[in-house]
Each structure stands twice: as structure tokens, then as C-alpha cells.
């Protein structure tokens, strides 16, 4: 295993971290972890050098932390740094900070959570917990040993990211969604470099876009890579899997401290451990970086609706969530993953915000800088995303 600097800490983190969001389950029930398989997966990763395990309060319908408390018995807890996250959306009053942390420590069966994150911060959540005094509270939790280090995970735009980084000198690390398709989304490359320059360790999540960049979609079977994407990878002199290319692109960057992968099978763990063993900053040649850029461009070419998610079309007079709906449809086309997109549409978009609620008023089209024929697209997209 290769190890990398983690911000200003006098400690090296494994290039690969174990994300416990997509552990093997029984009967496709996200809340029913297959403990035998999952324990074997976790312990194999640790036995092969992984020293960072990441979970969160809601993972596997709230069962993941307790599972890890059991899986890390027999000496495994002492071999890793354990990270979990405060469910900020459940914090309604200041007392909730202690209540949730102590519940998580009990679930994980650990006195100290080595790395504690404020989970999935956007502007609204950040301002809410900030105004309740989360930073002062965290200082006390670190002083009494319940937390080792404080960080945050992030889902918003770059300006909000910079605001959060600059708000507190005591951040040790942050966690961002980042991959070769998301250089300009959310924190993006600017956020990566900004945080690293400030001395924070930067943890990367969703390096494979939930498995889509590897031709799979989380725990749901995918249909493989689009043929034109596979042909580009096959053209390389250096043979790597699609997942291997995506991971090495990240490890090539010295500002990346750690890449988390939410692995669902032992085979995935073995493949990613092998990739991590061969990683190092600056590994990829200029020709290989050009190939990754060509793959990125091809994915974008496969996007049928030229929506940039600028949100100029929002708010819709009838509440239709146009950018999100178009993003799911585009993802289905880009990644050859209709099942993943349909699942996301049905589970993430409330019925009142779906495409069939469009009244064809045309207000969105008058605001769209890309001149998209939104009223024509919405019925087609709804029919596709609701097909059986």
C-alpha cells in the first residue's frame, strides 16, 4: 500500500480508504448488511494496508456504524483511523450535538472518533449548525477526547466551500466529490487546491460517480461502459480497467490525500488495493492524461441535453425541478445506466417536482441561456425515466 500526507498531520494515510456506504447486502435491502461478506471485505482491506475507514450516521439505513463496531473487533479498530459524520439535518438544538455524537460512539463501540465530519454541508446546513455553535462545541469534544479531528463533507458551489474553509482555522480535513468528470462541479479542482494550500487533508468521495465510471451503478447491475468509451480505454498502451484509470487520475494529483471507494464486493476491494499499490503522485504521462481528457469529452458528447445546471430556469411556476431531472436523464445516456437514473428519479424527485407537472407555459425557455427546448424535452424525459 502507498501512503500519503494528510494535511498538516504527522501521520500518513493509505492512498485508498474504505467507504462503508455500499457494503454487500442481503435481498437488495440496503438496511440488511451481509455481515459475513462485509466483515471479510473490511478486514481484507485493512490486512492489505488500508488504514482509514469512513462511515456515516444514515449509511445502510442507520445500521452501518453498529456493523463497523462489530467488524473492527479482534484488534482491527486499533489498526485504522475511523471517520464518521454528524447528521446536520437532525440537529435542531444545541443539545443534539452531544446526543448524536454519543449515540455514534456507542454504535461504533469506540471512545474516540478519530475524524469527525459535519455531513453534506451546503450553505443552508452550514449556516444552521454554525449559528448553533457547532465549532465551539467541537472544540470541547476534541478537548475531552471524544473527537480526534474535525472536518466536513461538502455538496454546494465553490463560493460556499471557500466560505466554510475560511470560517475556522481548526479544520483538519475536508471531503469533496471529485473525479475526472467533476473538475468544475461543486468544490472542484479550485476547491481541492484551495483546501490543500490551506493545509487541509483532502478526502475524495465518489471517485467513480457511484460506480458509473466503472460501468456499474452502486449495488445495482450496470450495462457496462458505452462502446465509444470502452474503445478509448482499449486504445491505451497501458492496460487498466475503467475504475483503475479513474483512480489513478486522482492519485496522480499530489493535493489529493485519500481516495475513498465504496466497495461492494471482495473482488472490487482486491482490484482497488492493487491499483493503490501502484499509485503515486505524478504517475500518469502526458499522453495518458490526454486520453482521460478524451474520455471526458466523449462522455460529454453523449449528453443529449446541453443543460449546464445554471438554474436560470428556476423557480418553475409549477415547481418542476428541471435541472435535476435533466441531469438524471443525461446520466442515463452518458453511462448507459437507465436503471440507475430511473431509481434516482423515483426516489430523489418528489412527485410534485417531476417532469409531468410541466404546464408548458414557456417561462423556463425564455430564461435558458443554452436555448434548450425544455417544453419538448420534459415529456420525453418523464416517459423514459418512468418506464419499467
The Cα 242–Cα 265 span in angstroms is 17
Full set of structural domains in the chain with CATH: 3-290 (3.20.20.100), 322-385 (no CATH)
Residue 311 confidence (pLDDT): 82
CB 141 within 8 A of CB 108: no
Q: Model-level pTM greater than 0.75?
A: yes
Residue 218 confidence (pLDDT): 47
CA distances from 360 to 100, 252, 307, 316, 363 (A): 46, 47, 18, 11, 8
Sign of CA dihedral 198, 199, 205, 207: positive
One-character DSSP codes across 242-310 = HHHHHHHHHHTSTT--EEEE---SHHHHHHHHHHHHT--TT-S-HHHHHHHHHHHHHHHHT-SS-----
For 161-168, the CB contacts below 8 A with 24+ separation are 161/186, 161/187, 161/191, 161/194, 161/195, 162/191, 162/194, 163/123, 163/126, 164/121, 164/126, 165/194, 165/195, 165/198, 165/200, 167/130, 167/135, 168/135
The Cα 323–Cα 316 span in angstroms is 11
The Cα 246–Cα 167 span in angstroms is 32
pLDDT in tens, the chain (388 residues): 999 999 999 999 999 999 999 999 999 888 999 999 999 999 999 999 999 999 999 999 999 999 999 999 999 999 999 999 999 999 999 999 999 999 999 999 999 999 999 999 999 999 999 999 999 999 999 999 999 999 999 998 999 999 999 999 999 999 999 999 999 989 999 999 999 999 999 999 999 988 888 887 544 445 688 899 999 999 999 999 999 999 999 999 999 999 999 999 999 999 999 999 999 999 999 999 999 999 999 998 998 998 877 888 999 999 999 999 999 999 898 888 888 899 999 999 999 999 999 999 999 999 887 889 999 999 999 999 999 8
Residue 308 confidence (pLDDT): 77
Residue 219 confidence (pLDDT): 42
Residues pairing with 153 in the sheet: 175
CB 189 within 8 A of CB 181: no
Alpha carbon of residue 345 to chain centroid: 18
Residue 221 confidence (pLDDT): 45
Joined together, the cell numbers standing for residue 160 give 460556499
Torsion of CA 266, 270, 272, 278, to 10 degrees: 170
Residue 217 confidence (pLDDT): 57
Residue that has been written with the C-alpha cell 471482495 in this structure:
266
CA distances from 70 to 34, 77, 96, 141, 266 (A): 13, 10, 25, 24, 18
DSSP conformation class of 93: S
Amino acid at each position: 500500500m502507498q501512503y500519503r500526507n494528510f494535511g498538516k498531520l504527522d501521520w500518513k494515510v493509505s492512498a485508498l480508504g474504505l467507504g462503508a456506504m455500499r457494503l454487500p447486502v442481503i435481498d437488495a435491502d440496503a438496511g440488511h448488511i451481509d455481515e459475513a461478506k462485509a466483515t471479510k471485505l473490511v478486514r481484507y482491506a485493512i490486512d492489505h494496508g488500508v488504514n482509514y475507514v469512513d462511515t456515516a450516521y444514515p449509511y445502510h439505513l442507520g445500521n452501518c456504524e453498529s456493523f463497523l463496531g462489530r467488524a473492527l473487533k479482534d484488534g482491527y479498530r486499533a489498526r485504522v483511523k475511523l471517520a464518521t459524520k454528524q447528521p446536520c439535518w437532525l440537529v435542531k438544538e444545541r443539545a443534539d450535538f452531544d446526543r448524536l455524537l454519543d449515540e455514534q460512539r456507542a454504535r461504533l463501540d469506540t471512545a474516540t472518533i478519530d475524524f469527525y465530519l459535519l455531513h453534506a454541508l451546503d450553505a443552508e446546513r452550514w449556516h444552521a449548525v454554525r449559528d448553533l455553535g457547532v465549532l465551539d462545541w467541537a472544540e470541547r469534544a476534541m478537548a475531552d477526547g471524544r473527537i480526534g479531528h474535525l472536518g466536513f463533507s461538502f455538496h454546494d458551489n465553490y463560493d460556499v466551500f471557500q466560505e466554510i474553509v475560511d470560517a475556522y482555522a481548526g479544520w483538519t480535513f475536508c471531503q469533496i466529490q471529485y473525479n475526472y468528470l467533476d473538475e468544475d462541479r461543486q468544490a472542484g479542482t479550485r476547491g481541492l487546491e484551495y483546501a490543500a494550500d490551506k493545509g487541509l487533508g483532502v478526502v475524495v468521495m465518489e471517485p467513480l460517480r457511484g460506480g458509473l465510471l466503472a460501468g456499474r451503478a452502486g449495488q445495482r447491475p450496470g450495462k457496462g461502459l458505452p462502446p465509444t468509451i470502452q474503445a478509448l480505454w482499449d486504445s491505451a498502451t497501458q492496460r487498466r480497467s475503467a475504475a483503475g484509470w479513474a483512480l489513478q487520475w486522482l492519485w496522480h494529483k499530489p493535493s489529493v490525500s485519500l481516495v475513498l471507494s465504496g466497495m461492494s464486493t471482495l473482488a472490487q476491494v482486491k482490484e482497488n488495493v492493487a491499483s493503490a499499490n501502484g499509485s503515486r503522485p505524478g504517475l500518469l504521462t502526458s499522453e495518458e492524461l490526454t486520453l482521460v481528457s478524451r474520455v471526458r469529452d466523449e462522455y460529454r458528447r453523449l449528453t443529449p441535453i446541453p443543460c449546464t445546471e445554471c438554474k436560470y430556469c428556476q423557480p418553475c411556476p409549477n415547481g418542476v425541478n428541471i435541472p435535476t431531472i435533466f441531469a438524471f436523464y443525461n446520466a442515463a445516456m452518458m453511462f448507459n445506466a437507465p436503471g440507475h437514473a430511473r431509481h434516482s428519479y423515483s426516489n430523489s424527485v418528489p412527485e410534485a417536482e417531476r417532469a409531468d407537472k410541466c404546464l408548458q407555459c414557456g417561462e423556463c425557455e425564455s430564461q435558458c441561456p443554452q436555448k434548450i427546448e425544455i417544453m419538448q424535452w420534459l415529456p420525453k424525459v418523464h416517459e423514459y425515466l418512468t418506464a419499467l
